[in-house]
Amino acid sequence: MSGVVPVPPRGIARRIAVFLDFDGTLVEIAPRPDAIVVPLGLSRLLGDLAQATGGATALLSGRPISDLDRWLAPLRLAAAGCHGAELRRRPDGPAEPAAAPCCPDRWLELATRLAARHPGALVERKPFGFALHARACPGALPELRDALAALVAEDRRFRLLHAHMAVEVLPRGVHKGAALAALLDQPPFAGRVPIAIGDDVTDEDALAEARARGGHGYRVGESFRDPGAVRAWLAAVAREAGHAPAA
């Protein structure tokens, strides 16, 4: 567990709302999005945390919500997918798409051809755009970034989101900070102290929004050593809030 972030005392732990990134925060980063290993007990841990926070636990991920559900089944949480391009306000609610444009098919076709020139590069299609992953070919990242920057320059409705070893095309105004704000304005999140945890520049909007709302934003690698430390801290928070996992 991290020695930097103290576990809030019970009185505070019962009044927090928790917003969590997925890859790099709850699970270790993998070479490909479909190659992650979900730790045994993660779904149970998140379920305990959700119960301890009165349902005020949400995932904020670059993945589609359907992908999060698949990896964590049968658990369902409130969630923002694709960096906020889709939002599920309640675990049993629908994934609502943002009022945003979809990127031109031509851009995706060009990105696919570009990735084919770099063994290891991967195009990940998303509801409103796409991501180009270069973890297996890091030397290609500058070229991939420049090529996508030229595309989004054609249409100011879109922007580039730079991540660690990836670059993503998505609509302007779509980001995790806006998703956190939308959730925090309604039950069961409203009136609680937000705590957001992420690991990448793609999480900075959410971390900043949590701080602006009187809460805390923590980054893995700074406040927590690794995803294992995050999970241990969350388990301690769930216990402190009064919901100890069953033996």
Task: Name the residues annotated as catalytic.
Answer: 21
220 forms bridges with which residues in the sheet?
A: 224
- Residues 187, 161: Cα–Cα separation, whole Å: 30
Is-contact 198 207, C-beta < 8 A? yes
The dihedrals phi and psi of 19, each to the nearest 5 degrees, come to -125, 120
Count, in order, helices (H) and strands (E) of the chain. Answer: 8, 11
Rounded CA-CA distance 165/145 in Å is 10
SS3 222: coil
Sequence-distant (≥ 6) Cβ neighbours of residue 137 within 8 angstroms:
118, 119, 120, 121
3-state secondary structure of 16: strand
